[in-house]
Structure 1
Amino acid sequence: MLLDDLPVLPVILPLVAAPVCLLLPNNRLAGSFATLVAWIALVLSAMLLHTVAVVGPVEYALGGWASPLGIIYRVDLAGAIVMTLVALMASVTFPYAIESAREEIVPSQTSAFFAMFLIVFAGLMGVVATGDAFNVFVFLEISSLSTYTLVAMGAKRDRRALTAAFTYLVLGTIGATFFVIGLGLLYQVTGTLNMIDLHDRLAGVDNKVVRAGYAFILTGLGLKLAMFPLHRWLPAAYTYAPSPVTAFLASTSTKVAIYAMLRFLFTVFGFNFGFIDVAFTFFLILGLIGMFYASLIAIFREDVKMILAYSSVAQIGYMLLGISFATVDGVAAALVHVVNHAVMKTTLFLAVGAVFYALGSHRLSAYRGLGKRMPVTTAVFLIGGLSLIGVPLTGGFISKWVLVAAAFNSVLAVPSLVIVLMIVASSLLAVAYIGRIAWTMLLEEPVGRQPKPVPMMMVVPMVLMAALTIYLGIDAATLVSLCRQAAETLLSTGLGFGGTS
């Protein structure tokens, strides 16, 4: 039955479709096929989310081999939320890329472009679905290797894309190496790679080998999710990659890495592992530093994509801050922001891609008077920007509201009021760099050539994302409830911890 195969179908479908896409002769056909695959995967992921919400976590044994001997796909509510989010972002960015790729990708590479896009999609879905620790590494590398190629394809417009891809390759390889060394150390102690089995066999074990494996895994994943100060690869990769690639990566890649971090913290190690508090302390410190450091840099950048790239590093700090509370409230806040940040950042990068299509630049100077020339794109950008700041009636406001509530309910060495004030102060920095762009768009006089019309295939996805950003700010009860249930599952007594504080 279809329902029995739901955990594996959203992974297998894009993986099988990628080589087919490579054989298609032109951009529009390849893009349309990739879009169809993404839409089917979205439907399957939504069905999986509904199933998990109703009946609880679902498992799928590959080849019929039961755990812990076989490879198991295990999807709980947190995983189903992230899988649906990734599929939604693919469903939006793939049709957008059909027109965008005509301007930003070498024509002979377009079929390969969409094939790589599908492989990245499959890899990210696999990271979330699998219940096998080594398979997390495999799928991370499947998505990463394809991502390096996609970033490099931006070299048609800017040769710096090649340098950005190489930097990403080197640092991504270092992160993967750290991660797999950590897995090897855990396997040496436990003799298993199944996550649930790892948790059971690590219970009561706290020696130097396990601690070393713990440190290697968290460092490797920290680099993958661009945690300060391991974020060096992100700004250039986001800036010089093709616009749809940037939008998709900003909304999915680091979010999946955040999910993997949560999975290892709570499912594999759990609160019975004494050394886990070290991670929460580091997340608190590095999250707060990243929120301010990246925002301050963003204020003084002249490239709009670079500004938004550094803002992503700052927003990751909010997610790490929520995780550092080590409570249901904190983890729920992190998951809420994972969803809302994905939506708002996709909105922003799709709008930036539309400006690039129309004017051939994403420098701030190209945005002068854009409100008069491209009113729809300007409105979309401003909605995404307001959400990034955390203005009421946007998804970003809900994220920060839930995070502030979690801070007040947490028990930390740092007073809760200090944390809340730092969240507010960081949001004011976002006002500075988003306000600078808004001022340029709305209040400065237009200069340069008249922008060419943006195709509806690009306009519709970004308008839909802007509408979703507002919807998540108005009707947030379902998302917050789902994320809270997901956090309770992650921190439940069977896998580490129960309670809200």
Structure 2
Amino acid sequence: MIDAIFAHLPILLIVLPLMAAPCCVLVGNGRAAYLLALVVSFAAFACSVAMLGETLQHHVVRYELGNWSPPYGIEYRVDIFSGFVMAFVSGIGAIVLVYAPLSVRDEIPASKHYLFYATYLLCMTGLLGMCVTGDLFNVFVFLEISSLSSYALISLGRTRRAPLAAFQYLILGSIGATFILIGIGLLYQMTGTLNMADIAARVPHEHGPRTVLVAFAFLTVGLCVKMAVFPLHTWLPNAYTYAPSVVTCFIAATATKVSVYAFVRLIFGIITPGFAFDVLPLDTELMLFSLVGIFIASIAAIYQNNVKRLLAYSSVAQIGYMLLGISMATPTGLSAGIVHMFNHALIKGGLFMVAGCFALRLGSVQLSDWKGAGRTMPLTAIAWAIGGLALIGVPMTAGFISKWLLLTSAFETGRWPIAVLMLVSSLLAVVYVWKVVETLFFSEPSEAAAGATEAPLRMLIPTYLLIGATLLFGVWTPYSAGIARQAAIVLLGGTP
């Protein structure tokens, strides 16, 4: 019985949240829908951890839908890289649901609670499906499931700007999706298959027709929109700012990371680094856009008075660090990019949870209303300080591990100017993190802060679980940087 269940874990990971979503609608009750979503999210996390454990034994978990072998049928395929991403996406999805009820009650009308949980599960389905599938068209399908549900989740924000932010995201997201679909269609025209491993074996990389180059260009631009790479990031600040706090916690920690995952799969699993970085100068272009994005987004974050918008611009900068590691195309550089996906998910998920705690008690995410809140909400404020240190990359935090690996890779490849620019960019992070710390601890309490009480334990515990994890994985790295390095070696064609 256990072996039979284990054999079907890849499809269970998708079917459980996918089927639970309409069940949440059918029950029509917010509390019942929440309990169902919570159970299913932890079940999905258990499935992900089990498959990650299997891949760490140097096995690839395969599942053929309908017993049709690829390339004729659709194959679900989980290796170390996809198992790692699935584990932290499903884990954060479950933790955010533990955090969610009070925030949902405060920011979303009670009549829409069951719809929120249904849409949340659909978004999780899409994100996990992108990681598990080995079929390129399925990647597009799951990407759109997650995107469409994200639009709906963002529109639930309590201000009238939330639907506008969701609409802006929809327009830009649809443009990106169209580019991706055109790229997939061109690759199918060239190879006659949609299985990613089969496409990689058939597509002519070196001296093939221009169609391959055009397909790669469409896919790259489309995924850069979904990743919010500068300057294609314009949908992200408003989406993160005006969405309900719990929605921002989830999509900020997961959505862009899964798009980065798909981009890595495209370069290292289909197009190959030789074509992307040797035949084409994509490495140079990625470095340029990454560094420009890091500096411009960090400077923009410094001038924000809305804390959620500050964190949104910070996310654009952090995506730059991920792409910077990917562009180096070395085991150390690629592992830095992969582990930063994980570390940033923990850090930014935790910081947006902190913002949600303040929003609940102060009714605002404006810095002017947070003045002196460190005196009346010390535990919440301390969580911000710890998360901010990790975002800067202070030693003994997860953020330091990512940046240390990036620096190491830069020196290994003789790119010392990039290392210098990275250090300078970290100083910009110090400025905007300290700006909030100073407001919390060294300002006279505002009217809102003076009468505030500490955030509920039901929200503080999951917040500290993520914030504490940034400290844990800053000193204990076998299950973060260690797995990321194994994944990088496999992606580069080696044996872990």
Normalising by the smaller structure, the TM-score range is over 0.9
The equivalent residue for 1:356 is 359
Cα offsets for 1:48-97 (capped at 9, x unmatched)? 10001114221110111000000011111000000001111111111211
The equivalent residue for 2:42 is 39
Asked whether the 8 Å contact 1:270–1:276 carries over to 2, the reply is no
Instruction: State the shift of 1:126 in Å.
Output: 0.3
Instruction: State the shift of 1:298 in Å.
Output: 0.4
Question: What secondary structure sits across from 2:63 in the alignment?
Answer: strand
Matched, 1:199 2:208: no
Matched, 1:394 2:397: yes
The equivalent residue for 1:171 is 172
The equivalent residue for 1:428 is 427
* 1:382 aligned to which of 369, 380, 385: 385
Question: What secondary structure sits across from 1:54 in the alignment?
Answer: coil
The equivalent residue for 1:301 is 304
Task: Report the residue type matching 1:227 in the other structure.
Answer: V
Partner Cα distance (2:107, 2:6) in 1? 39
Cα offsets for 1:459-498 (capped at 9, x unmatched)? 11101111111101111233211111101111106xxxx9
Task: Report the residue type matching 1:458 in the other structure.
Answer: M
The equivalent residue for 1:461 is 462
The equivalent residue for 1:313 is 316
* 1:225 aligned to which of 224, 227, 234: 227
Partner Cα distance (1:297, 1:55) in 2? 43
Partner Cα distance (1:477, 1:397) in 2? 15
Matched, 1:18 2:21: yes
Between 123-132 and 476-485, report the one with greater CA deviation: 476-485
The equivalent residue for 2:485 is 484
Instruction: State the shift of 1:33 in Å.
Output: 1.6
* 1:407 aligned to which of 380, 389, 410: 410
Asked whether the 8 Å contact 1:203–1:273 carries over to 2, the reply is no
Asked whether the 8 Å contact 2:358–2:364 carries over to 1, the reply is yes
Between 205-214 and 232-241, report the one with greater CA deviation: 205-214
Partner Cα distance (1:215, 1:23) in 2? 43
Question: What secondary structure sits across from 1:74 in the alignment?
Answer: strand
Asked whether the 8 Å contact 2:273–2:329 carries over to 1, the reply is no
Question: What secondary structure sits across from 2:394 in the alignment?
Answer: coil
Between 217-226 and 198-207, report the one with greater CA deviation: 198-207
* 2:236 aligned to which of 228, 234, 237: 234
What are the residue-to-residue correspondences of 1:15-414 with 2, within 5 Å? 15-154=18-157, 156=158, 158-204=159-205, 206-273=208-275, 277-410=280-413
Question: What secondary structure sits across from 1:192 in the alignment?
Answer: coil
Instruction: State the shift of 1:456 in Å.
Output: 2.2
Task: Report the residue type matching 1:170 in the other structure.
Answer: I
Cα offsets for 1:196-251 (capped at 9, x unmatched)? 00000014452211100000000000000001111000000000001111011111
Partner Cα distance (2:199, 2:93) in 1? 32
Cα offsets for 1:254-305 (capped at 9, x unmatched)? 0000000000101111134367643222211100001000000000011000
Asked whether the 8 Å contact 2:362–2:370 carries over to 1, the reply is no
Asked whether the 8 Å contact 2:379–2:454 carries over to 1, the reply is no
Asked whether the 8 Å contact 1:72–1:130 carries over to 2, the reply is yes
The equivalent residue for 1:445 is 444
Cα offsets for 1:102-140 (capped at 9, x unmatched)? 011011111000000000000000001000000000000
**Are residues 152 and 363 of structure 1, via their aligned partners in 2, closer, same or farther at CA, if it must alter by over 3 Å?**
same
Question: What secondary structure sits across from 2:232 in the alignment?
Answer: coil
Asked whether the 8 Å contact 1:23–1:111 carries over to 2, the reply is no
Instruction: State the shift of 1:172 in Å.
Output: 0.2
Asked whether the 8 Å contact 1:31–1:95 carries over to 2, the reply is no
Asked whether the 8 Å contact 1:153–1:242 carries over to 2, the reply is yes
Asked whether the 8 Å contact 2:377–2:455 carries over to 1, the reply is no
Partner Cα distance (2:470, 2:110) in 1? 33
Question: What secondary structure sits across from 1:59 in the alignment?
Answer: strand
Partner Cα distance (1:480, 1:452) in 2? 38
Asked whether the 8 Å contact 1:203–1:272 carries over to 2, the reply is no
Partner Cα distance (1:385, 1:458) in 2? 19
Partner Cα distance (1:227, 1:55) in 2? 33
Q: Kindly tell me the number of residue pairs found equivalent between the two proteins.
A: 489
Asked whether the 8 Å contact 2:131–2:258 carries over to 1, the reply is yes
Partner Cα distance (2:352, 2:462) in 1? 11
- Structure-1-length-normalised TM-score: 0.95
Task: Report the residue type matching 1:282 in the other structure.
Answer: E
Cα offsets for 1:347-405 (capped at 9, x unmatched)? 10000000000011000111111111101100111111110001111110111111111
Question: What secondary structure sits across from 2:364 in the alignment?
Answer: coil
Instruction: State the shift of 1:452 in Å.
Output: 4.6
Aligned residues with identical type, % of pairs: 45
Partner Cα distance (2:273, 2:106) in 1? 50
Cα offsets for 1:319-360 (capped at 9, x unmatched)? 000011011111100011000000000110000000000011
Task: Report the residue type matching 1:258 in the other structure.
Answer: V
Question: What secondary structure sits across from 1:354 in the alignment?
Answer: helix
- Structure-2-length-normalised TM-score: 0.96
Task: Report the residue type matching 1:455 in the other structure.
Answer: P
Asked whether the 8 Å contact 2:204–2:212 carries over to 1, the reply is no
Question: What stretches of structure 2 of length at least 5 have no aligned partner?
Answer: none
Partner Cα distance (1:366, 1:30) in 2? 34
Instruction: State the shift of 1:24 in Å.
Output: 2.8
Question: What stretches of structure 1 of length at least 5 have no aligned partner?
Answer: none
Task: Report the residue type matching 2:430 in the other structure.
Answer: V
